[in-house]
Amino acid sequence: MDQPLALPLDIPARGRLEALHGQLRAAILDGRLAGGQGLPSTRALASSLGISRNTVVAAYDRLLSEGYVSARHGSGYAVAQGLAKKKVAAPGDEGDRRLAARWRHLARPVRSGGKVPMRYDFCVGLPDASRFPFDAWRRLSARALRSLSRTPAVYDAPAGRQALREAIAGHVSFARAVTCGADDIVVTSGAQQAFDLLARCLVTPGRTVIAVEDPGYPPLRAAFEAAGASVVPVPVDAEGLIVEQIPPAARVIYVTPSHQFPLGMVMSPARRMALLDFARRHGAVIIEDDYDGEFRYGGRPLDALQTLDREGLVFYVGTFSKSLFPALRLGYVVAPPWAMAALAQVRQISDWHCDVLAQDTLALFIAEGHLARHVRKMRRIYAERREALIDGLARHAGDLLTLQASDAGLHVATLLRAGLPADGLVQRAAGQDMRIEALAGYSIGAAPPNGLVFGLGMLPVARMEEATQALGRLLKAGR
């Protein structure tokens, strides 16, 4: 039974086999040729297309060997069953069923992206990359690549390149008095990977309790929730995390002692001692997130918790997302010796190691003094912006908000006068192409502070007056 093909085939003068095979295959896959349908005999098809029978035989053979057609009992070929395109399941019950429950129940999706920059952009968490010495980076990257091209392609150590670990150890020992050597450092893809690796090492799902600052840094919470930890918020006051309110069951405590995120206070010496004491007594460990500790505008910094720790209780997490720029995805954790092997193993399972070229470039960048120089330069620039911001806020909206005391970092937090809800302001600001953020976005507890956070990374000092004026108008209109 030789039924003709109800399928338009377009066979060119050259490449006939490829064309015939490809068009039949496409028709099988998209359902124009249905499963079970018989194909014309090679002779009939060749004749109808005006091509050689050998070409048709070759095309059928190929489809057969690929499983698109099957040989019929007797003779001839039929389209194989079950190949025609069906609608791919839309995200919904069918899809969700396949995803582990925990991904559906994460407390909140992590924010990302949006239009950058807005006209008045006080986006939190971004440095100003426009002053970055891209030329130096390019030159060092070329040098690192040349050196890399002379060595074989191998997988490297999960903890990172030796030269970079040494450079980071030198940098952090000098800049933050963190006592460490290269062997204590795991290079990570930004601070976020450090949090994720720590969560995966330290959390026993369903059992481990982590205490975090409230308000605090949501992506850290997301990493620990994903690992199956119970996240318990602990309030902060003018001295930082209120240590007495840490639940005794907490086995991990996350703090930002140099510059509380997002409120900005420095953790007091007494609290630091109390926190270390808590960890000692309860067998807990501390994650010290020093995300923008390089940017201090006055006074001598207090020593890191890591510096004070004598017993291997503290994981010190640093990042180059603020001192260089986030697109690089480079950070590190200074870990106690007992945890190094586990961290390296989890790192290897996660993604083996960071891009070697970026690591080698950064190692040269630090060793040649560019990092220290760039941080010094940016510290001056952010300090000017910060002063201009604080000054502008005082003049244009001084009676409507209260500055949170802080002398470090890339953002400034303020509390709003009662009756001026931050959420509405944020939305009205967006309507005027201004980005401000509500403190409540970083809160967990029932009574979030009513305030705003201003990032210093996107607005040059020359535009601060204009921006704070616009903000003042907005606030006054909201009264």
Return the residues of window 126-155 that contact a second copy according to CB under 8 A: 126-130, 132, 134, 137-138, 141-142, 145-146, 148-149, 152-155
Site track for a second copy across 31-60, x = CB under 8 A: ------------------------------
Q: What is the DSSP letter of 435?
A: E
d(CA 471, CA 479): 13
Site for a second copy in 222-251 (CB under 8 A): 222-223, 226, 228, 251
Question: Given the rule CB under 8 A, which of 189-197, 230-238, 377-385, 447-455 is the region that contacts a second copy?
Answer: 189-197
273-312: contacts with a second copy (CB under 8 A): 273, 276-277, 280, 283, 285, 300, 302-303, 307-308, 310-312
- 36 touches 3 (CB < 8 A): no
Among the listed residues 351, 387, 423, 466, the single contact to a second copy using CB under 8 A: 351
Q: Which is nearer to a second copy, 193 or 414 (CB)?
A: 193
Query: Residues with Cβ < 8 Å from 14, sequence gap 6 or more?
Result: none
Pick out residues in 367-426 that bind a second copy (CB under 8 A): none
The rounded distance, in Å, linking the Cα atoms of 163 and 410 is 29
Cβ 396 to a second copy shortest distance, Å: 25
User: What letter does residue 301 receive in the DSSP assignment?
Assistant: P
Neighbouring residues of 1: CB distance < 8 A, sequence distance ≥ 6:
38
Task: Name the one residue in this structure whose structure tokens are 């057609």.
Answer: 69
Q: Angle, to 10 degrees, between the axis of helix 42-49 and the axis of helix 53-66? A: 120
Max CA-CA distance within the chain? 94
Q: Restricting to residues 60-119, which ones interact with a second copy according to CB under 8 A?
A: 62, 65-67, 80, 82-86, 88-92, 94-101, 103, 106, 109-110, 112-113, 116-117
Beta bridge partner(s), residue 411: 455
Distance, in Å, from the CA atom of 25 to the CA atom of 63, rounded to the nearest integer, reads 7
Rounded CA gap, 140 and 153, in Å? 20
For residue 163, the one-letter residue type is A
Nearer Cβ to a second copy, position 241 or 356? 356
What is the smallest separation between the CB atom of 179 and a second copy, expressed in angstroms? Answer: 8
Can you tell me which of 57, 78, 157, 182 binds a second copy, judged by CB under 8 A?
157
Which one, 9 or 129, has the nearer CB to a second copy?
129
- Give 14 or 146: the residue with its C-beta nearer to a second copy: 146
Nearer to a second copy, 69 or 397 (CB): 69
